[in-house]
Amino acid sequence: MSPLPKQVLPALVAPALALAFATLISALVLLTSGADPLLTFNSMLDFGVRPDQVVNTVNQATTYYLAALAVAVGFRMNLFNIGVDGQYRLAALLAAYLGGAVSLPAPLHIALIFLVAMAVGAAWASIAAVLKVRRGVSEVISTIMLNAIATALGAYLLSTWLSVPVAGSNNIGTKPIGFSGQIPGLPFPGTSNRIFGLVFAAVLVGVGYHVLVSRTRFGFDLRATGLSTPAAVASGVHVRRMVLVTMGISGGIAGLIGMPQLLGSSHSYSLDFPAGLGFAGIGIALLGRNNPIGIAFGSLLFGFLDQSSQILDLEGIPKEIVAIMQATLVLSVVSAYEMVRRIRLRQQQRQVGAGPAAAPPAPGAPPDAGRSGSGGPA
Amino acid sequence: MGENGAGKSTLMKILYGMQKPDEGTIIVNGVPMAFATPAAAISAGIGMVHQHFMLAENLTVLENVVLGSEPRRGIVLARRAARARIEEISASYGLGIRPDALVADLGVGDRQRVEIGKVLFRGARILILDEPTAVLVPQEVDELFANLRELKSEGLTVIFISHKLDEVLKVADAITVIRRGTTVASVKPADVTARDLARLMVGSELPVPGLRESTRTDHTQLTVVGLTALTSDGRPAVDDVSLSVCRGEIVGIAGVEGNGQAELVESVMGMRPAERGRILLDGTDITDWSTRARREAGIAYVPADRQRHGLLLESPLWENRALGHQTRPPNAKGPFIDRAGARRDCERIARTYDVRTPSVDVPASVLSGGNQQKLIVGREMSDGPTVLIAAHPTRGVDVGAQAAIWDQLRAARSAGLAVLLISADLDELIGMSDTLWVLLRGRLVAQVDPGRVTPHELGCAMTGARDGQ
């Protein structure tokens, strides 16, 4: 029933080899820039496994995970939501403002913030969806444009209507969300840093993503559209509706990206709210091959690289080396997957060519018709 | 020649350098060769004319012919030299290619000649033609054969792949039959009959399309009234078409490809809006229904292009079992896909319809064309359809699968299925139809008696030669 280990193995070997390849390339870059690769990797590893950095890695991975899922759900139907970045920032800003403006019992308060964030993310993404189904505008172009608009709109709203000065700095931000709208973190031995409470929510979203895409009729339609739009149309999929709904779901998940940070740590949206997570999500979704488990590993890996690279500045090594490593990783993993796919296809072709395991020719009688054929040769 | 999945395509891919052989040798003009790429095969003088034309519609014939091997002067295309070569090739092989015509304006036969010209332009001395007659009407087939004889008399070698026994007998000088990847016979056409060839290919008699007694009832299941549907650029592709299909009846539509068959099918399936007219299913007006609603109401659909419209090539067979039926048992349970149910039922289809596959978990792309088609037919016959729209149900399918599919159509017909059959195979249309219409430029121009009409007469009606419309 389930795939044989023989088929699973290459799926694991491929990313491992790609990781080794990316490391090699990074080592070469380090060598040419005059740094010792072994020393560099060693100090990154030492630093990265310190308890406080482990917590940071997990926290970073939590937001990356949500970002990658938001991208992946569109990828599964060949819908490229490049606008996750703008969607989550706008969503976080408005959710933070509203969360700071009201005071409600804890579950309601949190639920309201979530709802607003998801609705804003979905609404912003829907602009691109409507443009696509009504006017045929490529969602790649429109979502990129909408990112720029979201940045400007967010800055305008924050600087004029939604902000209060942050005490003791030049920063401005929304009014902090009250205690009832905060989600406490989890302690981790050996550090005072806390793991985002919403790490569990991220896991839940991952499970939900898997069920939705791989188990439901909706997910079947979604994947069918991605694999072959003409075949999906012939099978009865309403593609334009699928574009609208899927873009909404993608934007809705994007709305959640800022929540772990907002509810778990900063409690307000200010000028230094993390940016660029949407773009990282694109790379991680590719890295994890749109698979919820794969994306989880990809998020942790990216989070780890981000955190452990902090030490490099102290060693006098440019930490941009990590960006090179991440990019090489994505490229080599994608190529490795493609290679594995082709090898498997060839294996299966050979298997089919070798002849069927079963199925002797049956008399031509479709059981649904319920009677035997009129006796022609079969 | 050989059955689908017999290994013809694989063999040709090896000859053309698209696939590497595991063992054995290829000898061209007495010299052993190994081709790593098609480019290597081309430089050895081997050319391939694919079943599906590979032409850029918005370029001229000249541009298509030179594409990829442009004669150049500096960085500029040497148009005059190219035209001279093309005209020379066209004249010496009687191809009648007009270098300045736009490919989009050409008919199927002309396009095929452009493809042949393209291969000759690259200096091919050995031509591989993959199912070249699949898309042609009888008159065009005769023209093609005349071209092939011309090529032969100029000393070229032609490898002609076909399922149609009589065509192979007519055109070939030597016939090699392969079955399950191995040569079963090499014969001379003079020494064998179509019957012998069929037996060699599948080990059984040549199937004949044909219906026994009429099973037509008076209960009209599908009615199309005054249907007009437009192409994407606003011209009527289907023009005021009215027809009805009763339970237990097969209604055939004959026509040269591109005369509105595809648009008619798409309109009935709800994939193309009806500009005017109505479509009724068992008396209910379904003109405004979605494709999904129509499918759920019992309209089954075997699309003309199985790989584009009928399958998710990268998905496993059991998911393809659910495609088009993903909202209904055994493929769905509430809002969820019933994976176990779909898998089980896919195994049933594979068994009953002789889909040759090691398991239902392999992707559809690894099956041969015939087995893909059997899966689609099996799927569409499942889940209790009342109407079947079958577009070219046996195109590119070997005689064994063809016989099986015809059997299934007959059985379903006698069980009360209403079938709308669109085909380019005139024998199939004549043999399998209770009622036969001719579609020309989007209009039903004639109804012919399938009991009396000959393929040649039907071919004339399809090209408008007889009624002059």
pLDDT band at residue B206, thresholds of 50, 70 and 90?
Answer: low
Strand partners, B285: B280
What per-residue confidence (pLDDT) applies to B414?
92
B181 and B274 co-located in one domain: no
What per-residue confidence (pLDDT) applies to B460?
80
- CATH of range A51-316; options 1.10.3470, 1.10.287, 1.10.10, 3.30.70: 1.10.3470
CB contact under 8 A, A228 and B308: yes
Interface with A, mutate which of B265, B357, B386 (most A CBs under 10 A): B357
Counting every residue, how long is chain B? 469
For residue B6, list chain A residues with Cβ-Cβ distance below 8 A.
Answer: none
pLDDT band at residue A372, thresholds of 50, 70 and 90?
Answer: very low
Of the three residues B154, B181, B202, the one that is the final residue of a domain is B202
Q: Three-class SS of residue B208?
A: coil
**Stretch 231-260 of chain A: residues touching chain B, C-beta under 8 Å:** 231, 233-238
Alpha carbon of B139: minimum distance to chain A alpha carbons (Å): 30
Tell which wins on pLDDT, A4 or A157.
A157
Closest CA to A292 of A212, A204, A210, A208: A210
Domain for residue B67, yes or no? yes
Of the three residues B170, B202, B234, the one that is the final residue of a domain is B202
For residue A347, list chain B residues with Cβ-Cβ distance below 8 A.
Answer: none
CB contact under 8 A, B366 and A351: yes
CB contact under 8 A, B408 and A351: no
CB contact under 8 A, B381 and A228: no
Q: What's the whole-number average pLDDT of chain A? A: 87
Chain A CB within 8 Å of residue B328 CB: no
Interface with B, mutate which of A218, A338, A374 (most B CBs under 10 A): A374
Please compute, for residue B130, the number of CA atoms within 13 A of its CA located in the half-sphere on the CB side: 20
Tell which wins on pLDDT, A346 or A111.
A111
Alpha carbon of A77: minimum distance to chain B alpha carbons (Å): 13
Chain B CB within 8 Å of residue A376 CB: yes
Dihedral (CA of B268, B270, B273, B276) sign: positive
Average pLDDT, stretch A114-119? 97
Chain B CB within 8 Å of residue A229 CB: no
Number of domains chain B is built from: 3
Among the partner-chain residues B180, B207, B359, the one whose CB lies closest to the CB of A377 is: B207
**β-pair type (B418-422, B387-391):** parallel
Cβ atoms of B116 and B95 within 8 Å: the answer is: yes
What per-residue confidence (pLDDT) applies to B8?
79
For residue B324, list chain A residues with Cβ-Cβ distance below 8 A.
Answer: 234-236
Closest CA to A246 of A116, A80, A111, A120: A80
What per-residue confidence (pLDDT) applies to A370?
34
ipTM of the complex: 0.82
Find, in chain A, the residue whose alpha carbon is nearest to that of B215.
A374
Q: What angle, rounded to 10 degrees, do the helices at A320-353 and A277-287 form?
A: 30
d(CA B279, CA B270): 10
pLDDT digits (tens, 9 = 90+) for B129-155: 888 887 677 778 888 898 888 888 888
B82 and B152 co-located in one domain: yes
B359 and B447 co-located in one domain: no
Q: Three-class SS of residue B210?
A: coil
Among the partner-chain residues B7, B207, B351, the one whose CB lies closest to the CB of A362 is: B351
What per-residue confidence (pLDDT) applies to A292?
96
Chain B CB within 8 Å of residue A365 CB: yes
Is the pLDDT assigned to residue A2 strictly greater than 60?
Answer: no
pLDDT band at residue B66, thresholds of 50, 70 and 90?
Answer: confident
What per-residue confidence (pLDDT) applies to B4?
64
Instruction: Give the distance, in angstroms, between the CA of residue A347 and the centroid of all CA atoms in the same chain.
Output: 31
Q: Three-class SS of residue B2?
A: strand
For residue B296, list chain A residues with Cβ-Cβ distance below 8 A.
Answer: 236
Tell which wins on pLDDT, B31 or A115.
A115
Chain A CB within 8 Å of residue B379 CB: no
pLDDT digits (tens, 9 = 90+) for A42-96: 989 999 999 999 999 999 999 999 999 999 999 999 999 999 999 999 999 999 9
Is the pLDDT assigned to residue B40 strictly greater than 70?
Answer: yes
Chain B CB within 8 Å of residue A323 CB: no
Cβ atoms of A213 and A205 within 8 Å: the answer is: no
CATH classification of the domain holding B225: 3.40.50.300
Structure tokens at B60: 């001229």
B236 and B93 co-located in one domain: no
B195 and B215 co-located in one domain: no
What per-residue confidence (pLDDT) applies to A64?
97
What per-residue confidence (pLDDT) applies to A83?
95
B129 and B62 co-located in one domain: yes
Among the partner-chain residues B295, B339, B350, the one whose CB lies closest to the CB of A236 is: B295
What per-residue confidence (pLDDT) applies to A231?
95
pLDDT digits (tens, 9 = 90+) for B410-459: 999 999 999 999 998 888 899 999 999 999 889 999 999 998 888 878 88
Is the pLDDT assigned to residue B467 strictly greater than 50?
Answer: no
pLDDT digits (tens, 9 = 90+) for A309-338: 888 888 888 888 888 889 988 998 888 888
pLDDT band at residue B207, thresholds of 50, 70 and 90?
Answer: low
Interface with A, mutate which of B212, B321, B360, B362 (most A CBs under 10 A): B362
Q: Three-class SS of residue A289?
A: coil
Among the partner-chain residues B208, B291, B312, the one whose CB lies closest to the CB of A224 is: B312
Chain B CB within 8 Å of residue A134 CB: no
What per-residue confidence (pLDDT) applies to A360?
36
Domain for residue B75, yes or no? yes
Residues spanned by the domain of B40:
8-202
Domain for residue B370, yes or no? yes
What per-residue confidence (pLDDT) applies to B205?
56
d(CA B138, CA B429): 13
Of the three residues B184, B202, B220, the one that is the final residue of a domain is B202
pLDDT band at residue B31, thresholds of 50, 70 and 90?
Answer: confident
Domain for residue B212, yes or no? yes
Domain positions in chain A are 1-35+317-344, 51-316
Q: Which of these ranges, A13-17, A94-98, A222-226, has the smallest mean pLDDT?
A: A13-17
Average pLDDT, stretch A216-243? 95
What per-residue confidence (pLDDT) applies to B5?
62
What per-residue confidence (pLDDT) applies to A81?
95
Structure tokens at B156: 């070229």
Is the pLDDT assigned to residue A359 strictly greater than 60?
Answer: no
For residue B411, list chain A residues with Cβ-Cβ distance below 8 A.
Answer: 364-366, 369, 371-374
B251 and B186 co-located in one domain: no
d(CA B117, CA B97): 8
B186 and B37 co-located in one domain: yes
Is the pLDDT assigned to residue B13 strictly greater than 90?
Answer: no
Q: What's the whole-number average pLDDT of chain B? A: 87
What per-residue confidence (pLDDT) applies to A354?
56
pLDDT digits (tens, 9 = 90+) for B77-115: 778 888 888 888 888 888 888 888 888 888 778 888 888
Alpha carbon of B211: minimum distance to chain A alpha carbons (Å): 8
CB contact under 8 A, B290 and A236: yes
Q: What percent of chain B lies above the pLDDT cut of 70?
A: 96
pLDDT band at residue B461, thresholds of 50, 70 and 90?
Answer: confident
Chain A CB within 8 Å of residue B214 CB: no
pLDDT band at residue A112, thresholds of 50, 70 and 90?
Answer: very high
Q: What angle, rounded to 10 degrees, do the helices at A292-308 and A320-353 form?
A: 160
B168 and B24 co-located in one domain: yes
Closest CA to A147 of A128, A174, A171: A128
Domain for residue B307, yes or no? no
**Stretch 277-296 of chain B: residues touching chain A, C-beta under 8 Å:** 290-296
Tell which wins on pLDDT, A171 or A186.
A186
Is the pLDDT assigned to residue A3 strictly greater than 60?
Answer: no
Q: Which amino acid is at A182?
A: Q
B341 and B425 co-located in one domain: no
Interface with B, mutate which of A2, A228, A346 (most B CBs under 10 A): A228
pLDDT digits (tens, 9 = 90+) for B335-381: 999 999 999 999 999 999 989 888 999 999 888 888 899 999 999 99
For residue A355, list chain B residues with Cβ-Cβ distance below 8 A.
Answer: 180, 356
Average pLDDT, stretch A218-232? 95
Average pLDDT, stretch B312-318? 94
Chain A CB within 8 Å of residue B88 CB: no
pTM metric for this prediction: 0.78
> What DSSP character marks residue A264?
I
Cβ atoms of B8 and B370 within 8 Å: the answer is: no
B287 and B414 co-located in one domain: yes
Chain A CB within 8 Å of residue B383 CB: yes
Is the pLDDT assigned to residue B469 strictly greater than 60?
Answer: no
B89 and B181 co-located in one domain: yes
What per-residue confidence (pLDDT) applies to A353?
63
